[in-house]
Amino acid sequence: MIHVITAENRDLYKDALRQHHRIRHEIYIGERHWNGLQSRDGLEFDNFDNTNATYVLALEGDRVIGGSRLYPTALPHMLDQVCPALAEVKGIPRGPDIFEWTRIFAIKERREGRFGGKVVGNILCAGLEFCLAEGVTALSLVFEAWWLPRLQSHGWIIKPLGLPGLIDGEWWLAAMLPINENILAATRAHYGITERLLVRQGLSGPGLRRVA
C-alpha cells in the first residue's frame, strides 16, 4: 500500500520515515554519490526534510520499499535554492497549488525493467491521486535527464523550464507537469493499475498545508 505522511500524521510513521531516510542514504549517497547531502547516523536528509514536506511511501507490511517527497513551491524549495539555473528560460514556478516532487525511488531489489517496475508506478499513481484530491494543479520536477523518456512514456506532458545542466557529472532537467485526471488515467494504464492505492491513515481529510 502507498501511504501519505504529512505533519498531521507523521507520529504514526516514525519507523517508516527512519527507514525511508536510511534507504535514501543507501541510494543517493551510497549508489549515486550525490554531493552536498546531510548524513546523520546512516540516514540522508536535506534542507527540505521538515514539517512542510509530505512523503508518499510504499510499504510492504512494515517495510519501506519505495518513496517520494512533495514540497510547497510557495516556500523556498530545492529548485530555487539548489539549482535555479535549470529554470533560467521559463523561470521558477511558485504557487499554493504547485508542489515540487522529488526523491522518487524504489529499493534495489524492487526495480524491474526499463521503467523501474510496479513499485515506482504505484508511487507515481498514488502521488497523483493525492495531488488531485488536494487541489494541486501542477508539479515542479527536478530530475536526471534519463528520466525524461520514462516520464513521457507515461503520457506526461513535460514542460521544460530551461536547458539541461551538468550536476556532479550527470545531466539534469527542471520541468513542470500540469496534472489532471487524464494524466492519472494514462499513468495507471501504463502500469496496469486499476484501483486507488493511497492510504490516508491518521489524516482528517484533504487539507495539504497551504502557503500563500
pLDDT single digits (tens) 116-158: 578 999 999 999 999 999 999 999 999 989 889 888 988 999 9
pLDDT single digits (tens) 154-191: 899 999 999 999 988 889 999 999 999 999 999 999 99
- Does residue 208 lie in a domain region? no
- Does residue 136 lie in a domain region? yes
- Does residue 204 lie in a domain region? no
- Does residue 86 lie in a domain region? yes
pLDDT of residue 112: 67
Mean pLDDT over each residue of the chain, to the nearest integer: 91
Say how many domains are in the chain.
1
What's the domain range around 8?
A: 2-199
- Does residue 207 lie in a domain region? no
pLDDT of residue 111: 67
CATH number at residue 154: 3.40.630.30
- Residue type at 120 in one-letter notation: V
- Does residue 183 lie in a domain region? yes
- Does residue 79 lie in a domain region? yes
pLDDT single digits (tens) 56-108: 999 999 999 999 999 999 999 999 999 999 999 999 999 999 999 999 999 98
- Does residue 205 lie in a domain region? no
